[in-house]
């Protein structure tokens, strides 16, 4: 059967997680899914694991060659993808039980193009667990100050029509840390956003991920704010006015908090 869903994984030296990633898709028992793996010329044995699985499972398609980073690898995966729907699965993340069959059935019933997003469980390096519930309706919700909790935290929790890329472009190779958020901001402007209150993905936030290191360095919040300001400028003028008002109120409230802390210190 021709695949309806293409799961794309970009990996480089991911030997610790590649087998669990492959098994994750296999264990979904979803015959309408293909798994496209783009390996960035790994030197830790990752290609050997992929090759062994690909020889046994026909839904696995892969290539291994140098690339400029995750964004370029994902774009190569899009070129190889045969499905009508796309999902991005990082090598160290995984789907919730039944997520792929649910996503296919749901997207088939939605108008094209649609962007399906569900919840994601975040498993912290320190043992903490929380659930991201991105109940948003469009770009304005995502860029509004104070609404960071509405942004999907991981691509394992959303699925969309492949043709969206023909409307908004591929992943930006200049956005190596925020390429997924940047794509979401573009995609929701040209698609029907459909939220389901169901856990679809799982995000491992551990110390060896670039996301974790970026958060600890403080750069992640700066990148997030820059991206929000950039896309806020594309909003209709009425929405931009509301956005600027929220920004101003946020600055005033922050000033008040600082003043209160100073008074308390005195």
Tell me what pLDDT residue 266 has: 47
Residue ranges of domains in the chain, CATH in brackets: 5-235 (3.90.550.10)
The model's pTM is 0.89
Mean pLDDT by 10 residues, the chain (266 residues): 93 96 98 98 97 98 95 97 98 97 98 98 90 94 88 97 98 90 96 98 84 75 88 80 63 53 53
**Residue 223 has what pLDDT?**
87
**pLDDT at res. 87:** 98
Q: Which of 191, 194, 116 is nearest to 155 (CA)?
A: 116
Concatenating the DSSP letter of every residue in 167-207 gives HH-S--TT-TTTHHHHHHHHHTTSSEEEEEEEEEEEEEE-T
Q: What pLDDT does residue 121 have? A: 98
The answer to whether 156 touches 200, Cβ cutoff 8 Å, is yes
Q: What is the C-alpha separation between 15 and 129, in angstroms, rounded?
A: 25
* Best CA proximity match to 11, nearest among 77, 78, 84, 87: 77
pLDDT on residue 211: 73
Give the tokens for residue 190: 């040209």
């Amino acid at each position: 059967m021709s695949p309806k869903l293409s799961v794309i994984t970009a990996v480089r030296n991911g030997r610790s997680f590649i087998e669990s990633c492959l098994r994750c898709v296999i264990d979904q028992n979803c015959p309408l899914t293909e798994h496209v793996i783009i390996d960035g010329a790994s030197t830790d044995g990752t290609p050997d694991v992929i090759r062994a699985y690909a020889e046994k499972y026909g839904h696995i398609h892969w290539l291994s060659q140098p690339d400029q980073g995750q964004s370029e690898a994902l774009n190569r995966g899009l070129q190889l993808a045969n499905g009508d729907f796309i999902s991005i699965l990082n090598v160290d993340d995984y789907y919730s039980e039944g997520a792929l069959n649910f996503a296919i059935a749901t997207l088939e019933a939605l108008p094209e193009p649609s962007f399906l997003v569900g919840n994601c469980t975040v498993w912290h390096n320190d043992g903490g667990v929380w659930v991201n519930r991105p109940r948003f309706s469009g770009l304005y919700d995502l860029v509004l100050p104070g609404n960071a909790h509405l942004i999907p935290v991981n691509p394992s929790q959303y699925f969309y029509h492949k043709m969206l890329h023909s409307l908004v472009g591929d992943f930006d190779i200049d956005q190596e840390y925020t390429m997924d958020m940047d794509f979401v901001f573009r995609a929701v402007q040209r698609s029907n956003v459909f939220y389901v209150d169901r856990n679809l993905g799982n995000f491992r936030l551990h110390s060896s991920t670039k996301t974790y290191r970026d958060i600890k360095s403080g750069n992640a919040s700066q990148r997030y704010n820059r991206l929000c300001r950039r896309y806020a400028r594309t909003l209709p003028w009425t929405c931009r006015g509301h956005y600027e008002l929220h920004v101003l109120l946020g600055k005033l409230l922050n000033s008040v908090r600082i003043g209160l802390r100073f008074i308390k210190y005195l």
